[in-house]
């Protein structure tokens, strides 16, 4: 897609701010924030490109990205079950992004 740094950052933010995650308690607020990110992304794309074409190409990639994300979560959960001590030492950002979808229990508490 040949995204600029700004376009990539905004697209990444829009993907991470997914209002359809089952554990969210305020999905409407997340949806509103995601909508604002998409508006900013569309504005950024319009500076250089035909916005509709590029934005539609980006949005068309979302189902595939969601499938890959779900596969990643499955593998991550499997890894966490096999190696809980290693999972506890994942980098803080990684744990923050995936913590709500995976439960990192301390093996010493068992």
At which residue do the structure tokens 């096999």 appear?
Answer: 82
Q: What share of the chain is helix, strand, coil (3-state, %, to 5)?
A: 70, 0, 30
Domain of 76? 62-102
User: Tens digit of pLDDT per residue, the chain (110 long)?
Assistant: 788 899 999 999 988 888 887 777 898 999 999 999 999 998 998 887 666 688 888 889 988 988 898 898 889 889 888 988 888 888 888 777 776 555 544 444 44
Give the Cα separation of 51 and 42 in Å (integer): 6
The pLDDT value given to residue 103: 53
pLDDT at res. 49: 66
- Report how far residue 18's alpha carbon sits from residue 77's, in angstroms, rounded to the nearest whole number: 20
> Is 109 inside a domain boundary?
no
51 and 27 in a common domain: yes
| Co-location of 8 and 54 in the same domain | yes
Say if residue 3 is in the same domain as residue 28. yes
Same domain, 44 and 9: yes
User: pTM for the whole thing?
Assistant: 0.67
Give the pLDDT confidence score for residue 101 in this predicted structure.
53
């Amino acid at each position: 897609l040949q995204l600029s740094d700004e376009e990539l950052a905004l697209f990444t933010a829009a993907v991470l701010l997914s209002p359809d995650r089952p554990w969210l308690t305020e999905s409407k607020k997340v949806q509103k924030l995601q909508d604002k990110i998409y508006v900013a992304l569309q504005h950024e794309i319009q500076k250089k490109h035909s916005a509709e074409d590029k934005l539609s190409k980006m949005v068309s990639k979302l189902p595939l990205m969601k499938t890959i994300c779900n596969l990643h979560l499955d593998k991550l959960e499997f890894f966490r079950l096999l190696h809980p001590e290693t999972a506890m030492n994942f980098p803080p950002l990684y744990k923050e992004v995936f913590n709500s979808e995976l439960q990192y229990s301390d093996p010493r508490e068992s």
